[in-house]
């Protein structure tokens, strides 16, 4: 079974006030942490979708494909489509957001192993029965993902098929996403304690 990975790093960071992926936590940028969380041996191919040239260069330097999103204003659906267009021949694709700085590569690898045991389902990391990211979609869902419009992503597809979703439990801290400077400051404070 061939599984690809799409790292979604194309957002404008409007709630953060700019490109949050360049922000640092523990001396490392959020995008650096996101790329380090990809267990590269687990995937046939990895694509980083971004509007930022420096992130594209970083992705290529680590052996990943970079897909340039020249129209981030089209929303999350455009990032999803750009990523999927690079996933020819994949049986499933994992979508990973780039603003979960505490996500561990071991958890991502465990999610992929879990999915391989349940290949007819959508699999996601979660905590206490609440879904988080990343999420893996079998190829049967690619047409629905490609049909998304505007600022809609995989969550829209999951809501249509709640019976197909399975969760792999991880610590809540791994699912924390950084949307605001306050969230980043809180994580920084925790890291210093």
Residues 5-37 have pLDDT tens digits of: 999 998 766 667 667 788 888 888 999 999 999
Long-range CB contact pairs, 175-178, < 8 A, 24+: 175/100, 175/103, 175/125, 175/126, 175/127, 175/132, 175/133, 176/100, 176/101, 176/102, 177/97, 177/99, 177/100, 177/133, 178/16, 178/20, 178/23, 178/25, 178/30, 178/99, 178/100, 178/101
Which residue would you say has higher pLDDT here, 176 or 119?
A: 119
Percent of the chain with pLDDT over 70: 95
The domain that holds 100 is classified in CATH as 3.90.550.10
Q: How would residue 181 be classed by pLDDT, with cut points 50, 70 and 90?
A: confident
| Count of domains forming the chain | 1
Mean pLDDT of the chain: 92
- Tell me the C-alpha to C-alpha distance, in Å, between residue 1 and each of 38, 60, 90, 120, 165: 18, 25, 8, 12, 19
pLDDT-based confidence at 183, cuts 50/70/90? confident
CB count in 10 Å sphere of residue 95: 24
Helix/strand/coil (H/E/C) assignment for every residue in 30-85: HHHHHHHCCCHHHCCEEEEEECCHHHHHHHHHCCCEEEECCCHHHCHHHHHHHHHC
- Going by their DSSP bridges, the two strands 130-138 and 24-25 should be labelled as unpaired
What pLDDT is stored for residue 119 in this prediction?
97
- Looking at residue 17, its pLDDT comes to 63
Give the integer Cα–Cα distance in Å for 15 and 185: 14
The tokens for 191 are 């890291």
Over residues 67-78, mean pLDDT: 92
191 has pLDDT over 90: no
At residue 15, the pLDDT reads 65
What pLDDT does 192 receive? Answer: 60
pLDDT tens by residue, 112-145: 999 999 999 999 999 999 999 999 999 999 999 9
Of residues 8, 69, 10, 2, the one with CA closest to residue 38:
8
Question: Residues of the chain with pLDDT > 90: what percent?
Answer: 78
Residue numbers of the domain that contains 56:
3-192
Strands 92-97 and 130-138, sheet pairing? antiparallel
Structure tokens at 144: 């629905």
């Amino acid at each position: 079974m061939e599984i690809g990975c799409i790292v979604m790093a194309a957002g404008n960071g409007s709630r953060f006030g700019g490109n949050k992926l360049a922000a640092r936590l523990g001396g490392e940028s959020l995008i650096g942490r996101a790329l380090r969380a990809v267990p590269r041996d687990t995937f046939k191919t990895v694509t980083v979708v971004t509007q930022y040239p420096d992130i594209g260069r970083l992705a290529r330097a680590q052996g990943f494909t970079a897909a340039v999103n020249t129209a981030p204003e089209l929303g999350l659906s455009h990032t999803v489509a750009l990523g999927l267009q690079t996933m020819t021949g994949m049986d499933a694709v994992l979508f990973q957001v780039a603003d979960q700085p505490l996500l561990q590569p071991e958890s991502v690898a465990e999610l992929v192993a879990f999915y391989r045991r349940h290949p007819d389902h959508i699999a996601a990391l979660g905590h206490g029965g609440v879904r988080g990211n990343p999420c893996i979609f079998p190829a049967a869902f690619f047409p629905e993902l490609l049909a998304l419009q505007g600022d809609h992503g995989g969550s829209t597809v999951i809501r249509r098929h709640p019976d197909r979703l399975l969760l792999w439990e991880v610590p809540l801290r791994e699912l924390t996403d950084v949307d605001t400077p306050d969230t980043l400051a809180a994580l920084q404070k925790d890291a210093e304690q």
